[in-house]
Amino acid sequence: MSTIIKVENLSRVYRKGDNEIVALDRVSLEVKEGEFVSIMGPSGSGKSTLMHILGGLDRPTSGAYLLDGERVDHLNDTELSRIRGRKVGFVFQTFNLLPDSTAGENVALPLLYLGLDAKVRRKWSAKAVGALGLADRIDHRPTELSGGQVQRVAIARALVNRPRLILADEPTGNLDSHTGQEIMAIFQKLHEAGNTVVMVTHDERLARYASRIIELRDGKTVSEREVTDRTMPDVDAEGVTEIDADEDTGELEPRRMRWVDMVRIGCREGLMAHKMRTALTMLGVLFGVSAVIAMSSIGEGGKQQAIQQIEQMGINNIRVRALDLKGEELMEARRKLSAGLTRDDARALRELIPSIEYAVPMKAMNIPLTYEAKKPKAKVIATAPEYQEVVNFHVSSGRFINGEDMAGCRRVCVLGVGIKWDLFANDVALDRLIRIGREWHVVVGVMEEKARPEGSAKAISERDLNHDVYIPLTAALKRTKLDPLKSEITEIAVKVKSADLVRKTAGVIETVMDRRHRNVDDYKIVIPQELLEQHQRTQRIFNTVIGFTAMISLVVGGIGIMNIMLATVTERTKEIGIRRSVGACKRDILRQFLIEAVGISLTGGAFGIALGCLFAGAIPMLAGWLSPGSDWPTVVSAKAIVLGFTLSVSVGVLFGIYPAYKAAAQDPIEALRYE
């Protein structure tokens, strides 16, 4: 027979402070394939330490250990775990089964860490459970089984991966004598089938079930003898069948553990085990992500509305507006020979600055408008034909003011769609006569509908263009009594040939206007692009404040996740030890607990995204209810959803990595002893 275990001068020394405790002192032994060996000794003799080293749960301080011809005492954690999962099967005195898993799931646990898929795991688990006579108990949990049945499940788990070595640590210690004999009969049958069994015990009678006894005392081998009169069980291994050590195990070749199984374990063990605790833990992430989504939707809504208003005004436009000077300021301006804003200013800008395509003079007037008994509130704008080209605002029916209207100072007007509706509803407005001030004007056109500026966009464009009425500038100046001290016009709408030239052109306009106005500050230059940028800066400040608040909520949620995960690690220390004993490496444990933390935060993030979308929809209604007439447009963008998803995952990783690391760092032996 070949040698399955070879130990040479094996020592294990534990250090506690300045003290050294010698658990094993230069132990040497060999175990042949197919042997049944008992390692016997009193408590503290080192037999459990030796079993832990033989099973790959611990490392020797010195000496050499070969398992199945492979030196294992110098392997790293991952390599040692793979050896443990493929070549070793443990049977513990305290059974060490996962209480929330079925018998079949407990038996299949080593196969999980070998990377086998669920179908293969179920197949081999059913074989092992059936071989131990528990086929009808495969879906029962340990709490639903007797002590003997639980130990049979533990033996089936040790056999399922068809290991080269079965290690049994006081396998009958927690069983009554009759059940204990049944278990020993199973080990006898395993031995007869060709399995290599090493059993640790302090009981001479149990030790004699083996074919050879190695006795330890004070960490040293004191005797080694063959058993000539072996103890035989008084009962049969009832129901135990088809235990075959030579069965084809090609399907059990180890591979990389599957992420789908890791996620399943994380969700089942982390999210579903304590549903209420999980729900409460994820609240911080939920509210933080929902705040981010809602805040982002407000910012995006305001941004799009502002862009829409700028596009309506013209992204390559500049407005030169007369300042409303009064009293001494007005008199001082006129003493300095500034005539205020005039049509000549518009003409000069157009002629002197090549980058200007149009420079249209405008005069806004507060003149009453009447039709029959109707007196709608309207703004009268006296302007020129090029106005609609500058502001990209055109008629929907009829025509706009033309050159003949300007030359003849005609009494014609063009109505905004809001005024048309107020005066004529669904009737045709063209060719109707309406009274503007004291003069009657013929309606020659109706403008297209223009989106009304609402909410924060009012800072960019205050007037509702749908309630404007347009008349020829020449007619207004001829028939309206003007204050000689006031500006002739109120505004010049400038259209620049290219948006890239807007700022440069604005600088040239300022130079020309300063010269014409004798450096008198009786006008201002408004650049829509700059208004948009200012609006966006304000929005960013708002977003930053709300975002900071949301981040505080996320951090609080993350701290909650860390706190719960740290408590979970303590609660599940025994489970960690069990998983490590069947082949899980530190990386597997770290991934499992990290996935649990990410799962909690990701679930909270998903609900947070949904709640944030609901908040985004409710904000405009709430704003309108609290302040009638106000408007807070919201837009939930894909960017905001991705941000919420990313934040929730990041919180899970950042605050879950330490508990996961702490779980992975658990000593498997100490974890198995944890109660």
Q: Measured at the alpha carbon of residue 259, what is the angle toward residues 254 and 264, in degrees to the nearest 5?
A: 110
At residue 481 the predicted structure's pLDDT band, cuts being 50, 70 and 90, is confident
Domain boundaries, the chain: 34-49+77-256, 275-306+534-673, 314-527
Please give the biggest Cα pair distance in the chain: 134
At residue 215 the predicted structure's pLDDT band, cuts being 50, 70 and 90, is very high
Tens of pLDDT, residue by residue over 613-660, are: 888 877 777 766 765 655 667 777 788 788 888 888 888 888 999 999
d(C-alpha 38, C-alpha 327), whole Å: 113
In eight-state DSSP terms, residue 535 is H
Tokens of 301: 């809504």
Tens of pLDDT, residue by residue over 399-449, are: 999 999 999 999 999 999 999 999 999 999 999 999 998 899 999 999 998
Half-sphere exposure of 212 (CA within 13 A, CB side): 16
Half-sphere exposure of 542 (CA within 13 A, CB side): 16
* Total Cβ atoms within 10 A of residue 490: 19
> Strand, helix or coil at 48?
helix
What pLDDT is attached to residue 612? Answer: 84
Residue that is written with structure tokens 């795991």 in the block: 121
Tens of pLDDT, residue by residue over 545-603, are: 767 777 787 888 888 888 888 888 888 899 999 999 999 999 999 998 998 888 888 88
Whether 477 and 384 have beta carbons less than 8 Å apart is answered as no
d(C-alpha 398, C-alpha 428), whole Å: 11
Q: At residue 487, what is the residue type?
A: S
Per-chain mean pLDDT for the chain = 86
Q: What is the 3-state secondary structure (H, E, C) of 313-378?
A: HCCCEEEEEECCCCHHHHHHHHHCCCCCCCHHHHHHHHHHCCCEEEEEEEEEECCCEEECCECCCC
Whether 381 and 472 have beta carbons less than 8 Å apart is answered as no
In eight-state DSSP terms, residue 437 is T
Whether 590 and 262 have beta carbons less than 8 Å apart is answered as no
Q: 433: closest CA among 371, 367, 368, 381? A: 371
Rounded percentage of the chain residues whose pLDDT exceeds 70: 90
**Is domain 34-49+77-256 classified as CATH 3.40.50.300?**
yes
Q: What is the DSSP string of 218-286?
A: TTEEEEEEE-SS----SS--TT-----TT---GGG---PPPHHHHHHHHIIIIISTTHHHHHHHTHHHH
Number of residues assigned to the chain: 675
d(C-alpha 577, C-alpha 84), whole Å: 13
Tens of pLDDT, residue by residue over 134-178, are: 999 999 999 999 999 999 999 999 999 889 899 999 998 888 888
Query: What's the pTM?
Result: 0.69
> Strand, helix or coil at 88?
strand
Instruction: Phi first, then psi: give them for residue 654, nearest 5 degrees.
Output: -65, -40
d(C-alpha 489, C-alpha 495), whole Å: 17
Phi-psi region of 652 (alpha: psi -120 to 50; beta: other; left: phi over 0): alpha
